[in-house]
Amino acid sequence: MKKIILAYSGGLDTSIAITWLKEKYNCEVVAMAADVGQGEELEPLHEKAMKSGASKLYIEDVREEFVRDFVFPMVKSGALYEEKYFLGTAIARPAIAKRLVEVAAKEGADAIAHGATGKGNDQVRFELTIKALAPHLKIVAPWREWEIRSRDDAFDYAEKHGIPLPVTKDKPYSMDRNIWHLSFEGGILEDPDSEPEKEMFILTVDPEDAPDKAEYVEIGFEKGVPVSLNGKAMGPVELLAELNTIAGRHGVGRVDMVENRLVGMKSRGVYETPGGTLLYFAHKEMECLTMDRETMHFKEIAGVKYGELVYYGQWYTPLREALDAFIDRTQQNVTGSVRVKLYKGNMTVAGRKSPHSLYREDLATFGEDVIYDQRDAEGFINLFGLPLKVQGLLENEKKRG
């Protein structure tokens, strides 16, 4: 291999990976950092990458594509992993890997490398995307090759080679940030019985410290896609960033969970997804108003599978494309707006409206109505309950001998 493109974040693993790749393969290493909304973390990367031995650093702004083509389709699906995880790290990996492949083609590289460990999910997510989009490229995973076996070993390697690092041995939890979420894993969080430190959180205030006055927000949707906030039309990145700010100041969007990794072990993760939590909540309310029962119930089943596909790194698969086609069809009438009340870490719906609303007051009313004849319910119940009645008759006959 003459040239390797490294997925570079500036963290511990990818910082030492540049030096290690050059030593191991005696090749040129080009670093690529994808801007998926991690903010100020990108500023020092150029100097750090050069000091670590990279010949070049690409900082690729993929925020618009990430939110529009990856995050919002996931919002429409309602996908969660194990009912709690909003898939912030998982959904970013195919977007990053896609751009890695594009940079590799531009540079004429032989291989792509990543800093994901052999114990985690990200190695699968990166590599499945690369295999799908550029099967001719070699893949190098240093954590599966080098003699480094722990975070302490990695710190020692960095100190020996003079590589600047963003974390220390005293506080070595790992963070992954993008415009959708911020995750914390490892180090002091590896004990699932320990409560996260209050100072650790960045995107959300402690609910106890949130404002004493509730705030209302109105989110507009067109065919399931968020398009406006408080009556103002916004693009995907602007809208999500504003929702992060609003939900974050009210302490909305924290998750602490023990999850089942794809590779077979359980791990503990703490996540902040303020804007995403708010979006999922509002989108579900919009669906409840505009989607028929059978479609909505089946879509919930499809959403579980969609979440697994994202978590397992299977974004570029025929099944995900087929699910998107189904989901897009279900979203044709998911248009309107939802008002949400935020207060001390909680969300409650304050109102929803749509030109495609299936809710009819003249049907649902407890007052006198002229459309629904309540006497019709008797025949419906008799037919719906017929299997139970037959079963009951059989059981009675058995008891009588």
In this structure, are strands 56-61 and 346-353 parallel, antiparallel, or unpaired?
Answer: unpaired
Angle between the 236-249 and 274-290 helix axes, to the nearest 10 degrees?
110
Task: Give pLDDT tens digits for 320-347.
Answer: 999 999 999 999 999 999 999 999 999 9
Mean pLDDT of the region 374-396? 94
Q: What is the pLDDT at residue 365?
A: 65
In angstroms, rounded to a whole number, what is the distance separating the alpha carbons of residues 239 and 384? 46
63 assigned to a ligand binding site: no
178 assigned to a ligand binding site: no
7 assigned to a ligand binding site: yes
97 assigned to a ligand binding site: no
* Selected residue with higher pLDDT from 203 and 43: 203
* Selected residue with higher pLDDT from 172 and 24: 24
In angstroms, rounded to a whole number, what is the distance separating the alpha carbons of residues 261 and 119? 9
Q: What is the CATH number of domain 3-66+89-172?
A: 3.40.50.620
Domain boundaries, the chain: 3-66+89-172, 177-353
Mean pLDDT of the chain, nearest integer: 94
Mean pLDDT of the region 169-180? 81
Does residue 7 contact residue 32 with C-beta atoms inside 8 Å? Answer: yes
Q: What is the pLDDT at residue 186?
A: 84
79 assigned to a ligand binding site: no
Task: Give the confidence band of 152 by pLDDT, cuts at 50, 70, 90.
Answer: confident
Residue 159 has pLDDT above 90, yes or no: no
Residue 155: CB atoms within 10 Å: 19
Locate 60 and state its tokens.
Answer: 């690729």
* Selected residue with higher pLDDT from 372 and 112: 112
CB-neighbour burial class of residue 68 (10 A; exposed 0-12, middle 13-18, buried 19+): middle
Q: What is the pLDDT at residue 51?
A: 86
Mean pLDDT of the region 115-123? 92
CA distances from 397 to 265, 386, 400, 401 (A): 52, 17, 5, 6
Residue 371 has pLDDT above 80, yes or no: no
The CATH architecture annotation of domain 177-353 reads Alpha-Beta Complex (3.90)
**Per mean pLDDT, which range of 58-62, 105-109, 156-160, 370-374 is the poorest?**
370-374
In angstroms, rounded to a whole number, what is the distance separating the alpha carbons of residues 322 and 314? 13
Mean pLDDT of the region 169-183? 84
Mean pLDDT of the region 294-305? 98
Residue 165 has pLDDT above 80, yes or no: no
17 assigned to a ligand binding site: no
- Model's pTM, two decimal places? 0.93
Mean pLDDT of the region 56-83? 97
Residue 377 has pLDDT above 70, yes or no: yes
Residue 216 has pLDDT above 70, yes or no: yes
Residue 333: CB atoms within 10 Å: 20
In this structure, are strands 254-260 and 232-233 parallel, antiparallel, or unpaired?
Answer: unpaired
10 assigned to a ligand binding site: yes
Residue 364: CB atoms within 10 Å: 9
Q: What is the pLDDT at residue 59?
A: 95
Nearest alpha-carbon partner for 288 in 239, 342, 338, 344: 338
Mean pLDDT of the region 130-135? 98
Side chain identity at 338, as an amino acid letter? V
Q: What is the pLDDT at residue 293?
A: 97
Task: Give the confidence band of 174 by pLDDT, cuts at 50, 70, 90.
Answer: confident
Residue 136 CA to its chain's centroid (Å) = 29
Nearest alpha-carbon partner for 96 in 11, 9, 13: 9
The three-point CA angle 247-251-252 to 5° equals: 55
In angstroms, rounded to a whole number, what is the distance separating the alpha carbons of residues 26 and 383? 76
343 assigned to a ligand binding site: no
Task: Give the number of C-alpha atoms closer than 13 A to the C-alpha of residue 318, restricted to the C-beta side.
Answer: 0
DSSP per-residue letters across 332-369: TT--EEEEEEEETTEEEEEEEE-TT----HHHH-SS--
Q: Which residues are catalytic?
A: 13, 93, 122, 174
Q: What is the pLDDT at residue 168?
A: 60
